[in-house]
Every structure is written in structure tokens, then in C-alpha cells.
Structure 1
Amino acid sequence: MDMYIRIKRDKTTYFIRCKASDKILDIKEKLQELVDKPAKDQRLILPGTGEVLDDSKTLADQKIDTDAVVALTLRKDDNEFEEVNIVRPSDFYQTRDAEGASCNSTVVTNERAGAEIVYGSEECFNHSIQLLEELGFPKGVLPLKDLVECGRVRETGFVWMKQKAPSEHYFEGTKTLVSYGIEVTAYVEKFKMKKMSGIKSKQLFVWVPIVEMSIDGFNGKKMYFKTPMGIGKSFHVTSFMSVEEKEKYEKLQLKDKEVEIKEN
């Protein structure tokens, strides 16, 4: 039967899909690409007891069930292993009653299985900026505040970002007020975020959900936003750029014009 466990190290969590019959060594091999450390340089530990898990035993042998939390430590340069150091959000160790769990919560759990998660304001900010850069978006297009958790499932493209509280941002360049819920989710691919939730734009006196945003390719000049009805609007990409990005963009545009003048 398929299951998942949460592997935690410092402020990062890895959701690992597995089976009860998988050996601890199998889990370490799945982690290898994520942490860039071979299995021999990883140690998996039960946080509650401090027990070091045996590579040759299965998850079932060591009574590790789905949604279990396991701490990860890595071998240091001095050949010693790190001490266990994990962040524990208040809901992390809550017991889940399988019979009482709703269908929606099961869907959410499955949707996030296999995710890499980071916690904390600075770590989440860096994570969100890296994501936007990777997708080809300007850094200011998702001005979320006081982030506490960010997650990404690379296999499916599902991402989420959690704030301490809902927030609003007024984009001066588009004259638009946008609200952001406590959690913003989306499925991402290069130059696009789709199936978005948690974002609304105020149109006259009505808050309209934004379910998709995209940019027209590398060095694109337009960003496009769609509502659930398929109605879209586009704005110049500079409306969502940071000050630094805008300066670089303007310099590039100036150089392009100079080249064009010389060629003519």
C-alpha cells in the first residue's frame, strides 16, 4: 500500500512517497538527489525516541506509518553526523484520525505528497523568489507578506505559499488592488502559473478570482491574467518588477535601441 513520510532537517521538509515494505536504504536513495548526499552520509532518526533507523529494515519493521515524521542528519566534514535540528510547526505532530478525516483533507495530503517544504520568513522569501525567477516571472508579481511555509512538488508542479494572515497589495503600475489569502496555491510550468487559488483582483466593487497568470516567453513584455470565466487582462511586465529588475530592463531596452539605430 502506498504511503508517505515526512523527512525533516532544519527548516526543510521532504514528503517521500513510499511503501511499508520499503527499506530505510530505499528511502535514503530517494533522498540522495534532494540533499546531494549519498545514503552512507545520511542518518534517519525517530525524533520522539532518538532511535537511528536501520538501513536493512523496512518501514513496517520499525513501525513507521504514513504521515510519520523522521529527522534527517548529514555527515559533516569531520566525519561526524549533525545533531537533530528540526522546526516543528504547531500542527506537525497532531494525530490524524483516518476514519474522521474528510475527503478534502485526503486530497490535500495526496496533492502535497513528495513535496519539499521550507519554513520561516527568510527561507520562504528566498524560496518564492527562486521559484519566480525559475518560471521567468518578475520578482514583484507575488508580493506576499510574512510567509511562514512554502512547498513544491516538482513531479506535478504543485506549489503553495502560506502567510501569517491575508494581505492586500496595490500595484501602482496597473492601478489594481489585489488580495492574497492565507494560502496561495498553483500548478507551475515555465512562463505560467495555472489553477491558482487564494488570489483576487478588485474590479470596480467586486473581488474577482485570478486563476492563471503567464508571460509571453523569455524577455517577454506582457503578463497575462485570467479569471475562472476565461476573461483575461494583460499588463506590461515592468508593472511587476522590483526596482533592481526595472533598472536592468530599462538598460537593456536602451542598448537594443542603440543597436537598432546603428544598424539603420
Structure 2
Amino acid sequence: MFVGDALSKCLDAIIERGEGALDRGLEILETYVIPKGILMPLQSSVEEGDGVEATGDIWLKQKSAVKHFFKLANKYVSYASTISCKLEKNKMKNIKGVKARKKHMPIMLPIREIVVEV
């Protein structure tokens, strides 16, 4: 059972499928003042997902893992086929399914928290 299925039953969330899944995720990110660019590399691969604005829980399921290089940050990021996190204003916590490394670093490290400074 996918983690989103269990959460949606507990929280009465509606699971979006197809293009609506990413759109829903982006809407929730915007509510919590998180840049949409964090999820843009997933634009063509998200199959389903949702989030609960009241609690800040968000999850996405992709066809397969995605790797992306963010030029501005000079980092490679790997998104697993299932991604989830808890949102707070300007912060993503308990991130699961995301790893990153600097361009010349030999290993990828899991990303557990992102804080947006405004």
C-alpha cells in the first residue's frame, strides 16, 4: 500500500492522478511559501499524489526515479519514485525520497529538511 493511500483515508484527502497531481502539489507548496521550482523537474513523470493543506502533508508518486542538475545551486538532485514531506511556512521537513550532491562530490546524501530564507 502506498503511503499516500493510507494518509488519504485517515485525513479524507483526495488523491489526484495524472497532470492534476503535480498541479495540486504546486498549489500546496505555494500556500506554504515554498518555491515551485523544487518540483518542476518532475513535470512529466508524476502519476499520482496529493496533500492536505491543513496538516502540510504532501506526497507524489512517479513513473520512475528522476535525476536533475540545478545549475544555479550547482547540485545534482535525485527524486525517488515516491516522495513525501511535511510542510511548514518556508520549510519542508521529514523529506523522504530526495537525495542531492554537489557537482564534484562522489556520493548522494539524503535531504531531510529544506528551509527557505525570505
Instruction: Output the TM-score relative to the length of structure 1.
Output: 0.39
The 1:110/1:159 distance shift into structure 2, 3 A limit, reads same
Task: Give percent identity, aligned residues only.
Answer: 32
Match of residue 50 from structure 2? 151
Return the index of the structure with the highest Cα Rg: 1
Which residues of structure 2 form unaligned runs of 5+? none
Structure with the larger strand share: 2
Match of residue 69 from structure 2? 170
CA drift of 1:157 comes to 2.3
2:113 to 186, 196, 212: 212
Q: Aligned with 1:130: secondary structure?
A: helix
What amino acid sits opposite 1:118 in the alignment? Answer: E
Match of residue 82 from structure 2? 183
Listed as ranges, the matches of 1:64-83 within 5 Å are none
Q: Deviations over 1:58-94 (max 9, x none)?
A: xxxxxxxxxxxxxxxxxxxxxxxxxxxxxxxxxxxxx
The 1:155/1:171 distance shift into structure 2, 3 A limit, reads same
Listed as ranges, the matches of 1:102-141 within 5 Å are 110-112=6-8, 113-114=10-11, 115-120=13-18, 122-141=19-38
2:21 and 2:6 mapped to 1: Cα distance? 22
1:176 and 1:197 mapped to 2: Cα distance? 18
Measured on the aligned residues, the alpha-carbon RMSD in Å equals: 2.0
Listed as ranges, the matches of 1:52-67 within 5 Å are none
2:93 to 194, 197, 203: 194
CA drift of 1:109 comes to 5.6
CA drift of 1:138 comes to 1.9
Q: Aligned with 1:131: secondary structure?
A: helix
Q: Deviations over 1:92-115 (max 9, x none)?
A: xxxxxxxxxxxxx6x876544222
What amino acid sits opposite 1:209 in the alignment? Answer: P
Q: Aligned with 1:184: secondary structure?
A: strand
CA drift of 1:147 comes to 0.7
1:169 and 1:146 mapped to 2: Cα distance? 13
The 1:108/1:184 distance shift into structure 2, 3 A limit, reads closer
Q: Deviations over 1:142-181 (max 9, x none)?
A: 2214111112134432210111110011000011100000
What amino acid sits opposite 1:165 in the alignment? Answer: S
The 1:109/1:126 distance shift into structure 2, 3 A limit, reads closer
The 1:155/1:186 distance shift into structure 2, 3 A limit, reads same
Q: Aligned with 1:116: secondary structure?
A: coil
1:108 and 1:140 mapped to 2: Cα distance? 22
Which residues of structure 1 form unaligned runs of 5+? 1-104, 221-264
1:126 and 1:214 mapped to 2: Cα distance? 22
